[in-house]
Chains A and B, each alone.
Chain A
């Protein structure tokens, strides 16, 4: 049967030429998108080793100097720091707050996508180096409990699990440990900045613990992080960011308005006021928006090409069935049943699709050779073995997905014409002649 179908396809090379060309073009385009989505979904499936559910960013504002409520005395650093502590304590007293996290600079807040980092190296072997994102946390509150950080692939940790006796103590993430100290434990080792300013000694830090890696965007691979403790001081009190974790059962839609209502007057301390409360989950979503839009437009395009190819296959086969009425009639007269006729047409479609697989792969490999396929979410601080980096395996998987997707479309499109063909009565069909 297969052989006779192949012969028939060859006999109709002109009308099959068009359908093959269309399939080839669409196959390559769909493959491009399938590849993108494959890597995207793969990256999304990697865990982020922290939990932002039920966490909120408490945004404080400072009164404008022109306002009558503004007090010059409260702008003094010592007053500012005292007010900040007062605010943190009042937030902690709020009954639905489970814990508070304090950090320095916006990029230390989780989920905001902001990056602040530098290159670090092992103090004993300066060839081992890595670009790492810095998170600066205020050790007066438990940053790690609040965001549910983990170590050893999922073990919950807290600030008190580490010995902060040494003033230069830092935590690093798994990937940093593996790159700077391969094959040995990083705890107790010293790291330093690769960059050295001419008039100061190199910053050196003692590693006291290793945490799991974090993802900066949810479509990225995890990356290396270094966690610095930093106390509130006159230098940094203007750059302190406050986040909280609410108790488990309260949804954001209820927590935010209730918190704002009860705390607005409470947090009006010195020149500070409560400006806004934002869910960190919502902020993370916003951070990923650029990619969400990209995913939407690519899905739209994919749909466009798929509908196109459906129409093409549907239309062509519908005609083909009409032209081949006689043949179908003879087949029916010779004893083929309805299912057999349907199968004949569907198989023809599948063979057409399979015929273009090799040329399509050749075209696609040209795409790869030209460097048009970039792997999503590879950042320079990524490290490790990920499936999308194995080009050949990825190429085969994405082509298989594309083939299956298009095969489903082809079968769907042929089904209607094939059904009408299978219903042809042999007598009528042969009478046509």
Chain B
């Protein structure tokens, strides 16, 4: 039966080219806009390599040192000492990784220059400092070599992991360079491994080059405020997302225990408790509002984006239904119930909506690609290179599913009232119209 509906819809579309074009353009426009939001949300929160475990990840990106009498608060991230005391010793998570972000490294090191001993050429790079478990929590694709292991990390061994692009810039090739040495601000490092380039859209893992943060004292040496805060962020991998509450509780216990050893200051997480990637993505939109407010605001925006086109399309539908009243009258006269009629028209309409959805999806890809820097870069990011997007980030089941669902919602919103009006019409009146 649906096949007949679709055939009929196709015929109708061909007969009414002008109407169909307008209808498809209207739907496409609405879907394009909402899909831009959906795609950005997807790229920021879905499990995409190397951040394949986002759904199981708790982000502890900040920490606060507070004087016990309340007279001073220092908001920063974690120190190496705090990391060891409160995070590495956690029992409930699967793994705990830690890193110093590209932005923090820039702030602490100032200008960064890479060079090869004996060569005059200097290159800038986005460097991130990490621990050894970082390579387990995140899934990088290694082209050659191995990253630093736990012993190398703990001893502060000068070993680095480079991206393909950085290796090509520095050494002119990407093969057989593990073991070669180069300089970061005149300090010698050995290449451990080469990985594929990372898109800056991957906010946690993006860098050109990774080193153990123990290899530079500026990341671990934090004498002030009883060594509580520092530049390090912890990424806690849970066995499953439902463990988050248990992990938060365990961190809380560790924190209290840790505070008993401290004298004037205490370690708190009040400025930002550990968040999941989804919560973090929402928080990044606007620091000053609560996540509920942000969700409400965006839901309202999406509603308006869909409502305006839906009213427009309803208007078009209503005009069109006027024209089809005789046809509907005859169908009714032959015994079609109103459910059958509504069903038929909705299906016909869905056909047009889906065509519009397809156009809209293509347009939204275009918008995301053109505006990728504005849409995907965090407002406060210090990364300057352009955001690159892989086809997998745009074309995948989830994105298609979002697009289809929006089509269905839009279809229902726009055709229900006009169709309902028409299907209730009296048979005699309907046929008489002509």
Residue among B23, B185, B314, B323 with the most chain A CB within 10 A? B314
State in angstroms the CA–CA spacing of A309 and B315 once bound together. 11
A330-360 interface mask toward B, CB cutoff 8 Å, 1 = contact, 0 = none? 0000000000000000000000000000000
A14 CB contacts on chain B under 8 angstroms = 318, 421
- Whether A18 and B185, one on each chain, are in contact in the complex, defined by CB atoms closer than 8 angstroms, is no
Collect the chain A residues with CB atoms within 8 Å of residue B262's CB: none
Residue A240 interfacial (CB < 8 Å): no
Q: B22 contacts A314, CB within 8 Å?
A: yes
Nearest opposing residue in chain A for B110, CB measure: A64
- Alpha-carbon distance between A307 and B186 when the two chains are bound, in angstroms: 58
Contact of A312 with B186 in the complex, beta carbons under 8 Å: no
* 0 or 1 for each of B302-344: is its CB under 8 Å from A? (1 = yes): 0011011101101110111011000000000000000000000
Query: Which of the residues B18, B30, B318 comes within 8 Å of A18, measured between beta carbons?
Result: B318
Bound Cα distance A307, B305 (Å): 13
Q: How large is the interface on B (under 10, 10 to 19, 20 to 34, 35 or more residues)?
A: 20 to 34
With the chains together, A139 CA to B18 CA distance in Å? 72
Please count how many residues in chain A sit with their CB below 8 Å of the partner chain's CB atoms. Answer: 31
Q: Cβ of A308 and Cβ of B318 under 8 Å apart?
A: no
Q: Please report whether the interface of chain B is mostly helix, strand, loop or mixed according to DSSP.
A: helix
- Taking CB atoms, residues of chain B closer than 8 Å to A19 are 315
What is the minimal beta-carbon distance from A260 to any residue of chain B, in angstroms?
Answer: 16
Could you tell me the distance in whole angstroms from the C-beta of B185 to the nearest C-beta in chain A?
7
- The closest CB in chain A to the CB of B23 belongs to A315
| Smallest Cβ-Cβ distance to A19: which chain B residue | B315
User: B22 → chain A, closest Cβ, in Å?
Assistant: 4
Given A66-B185, A322-B323, verify A309-B318 contact (CB < 8 Å).
no
Q: A17-56, CB under 8 A of B: which get 1 and which 0?
A: 0110110011001000000000000000000000000000
The one of A296, A312, A315, A319 that contacts B322, using a Cβ cutoff of 8 Å? A319
Q: How far is the CB of A151 from chain B (nearest CB, A)?
A: 38
Collect the chain B residues with CB atoms within 8 Å of residue A369's CB: none
How far, in angstroms, from A304 to B25 measured CA to CA in the complex?
Answer: 11
With both chains docked as a complex, state the minimum distance between the C-beta of B323 and any C-beta of chain A, in angstroms. Answer: 7
Residue B114 is within 8 A (CB to CB) of chain A in the complex: no
B374 on interface, CB distance cutoff 8 Å: yes
Residues of A within 8 A of B132 (CB): none
- Residues of the B chain whose Cβ atoms lie less than 8 Å from the Cβ of A375: none
B19 touching A318 by the CB < 8 A rule? yes
With the chains together, A251 CA to B314 CA distance in Å? Answer: 56
Report whether B312 and A22 are in contact in the complex, using a CB–CB cutoff of 8 Å: yes
Q: What's the Cα separation between A19 and B418 when bound, in Å?
A: 13
Asked if A311 is at the interface (CB within 8 A of a chain B CB), the reply is yes
- Are A309 and B111 in contact, CB atoms less than 8 angstroms apart? no
- Chain B residues within 8 Å of A296, by CB: 374
Assembled-state Cα–Cα distance A314/B312 (Å): 10
**Across-interface contacts of A26 in B (CB, < 8 A):** 308
Option from B309, B314, B320, B322 in Cβ contact (under 8 Å) with A308: B309
> Is A287 among interface residues, defined by CB-CB distance under 8 A?
no
| Contacts A29-B304, A311-B25, A315-B26 supplied; 17 other A-B pairs, CB < 8 Å | A18-B311, A18-B318, A22-B308, A64-B185, A66-B186, A296-B374, A307-B25, A311-B312, A312-B311, A312-B312, A312-B316, A316-B315, A319-B19, A319-B316, A320-B319, A322-B323, A323-B322
Asked if residues A25 and B307 are in contact (CB atoms below 8 Å), the reply is yes
Q: Does B48 contact A (CB under 8 A)?
A: no
Tell me if B33 counts as interface (CB < 8 A to partner A).
Answer: yes
State whether A316 and B316 are in contact (beta carbons under 8 Å apart), knowing that A311-B26, A323-B322 are contacts in the complex: yes
Which of B29, B319, B374 makes the CB contact (< 8 A) with A316?
B319
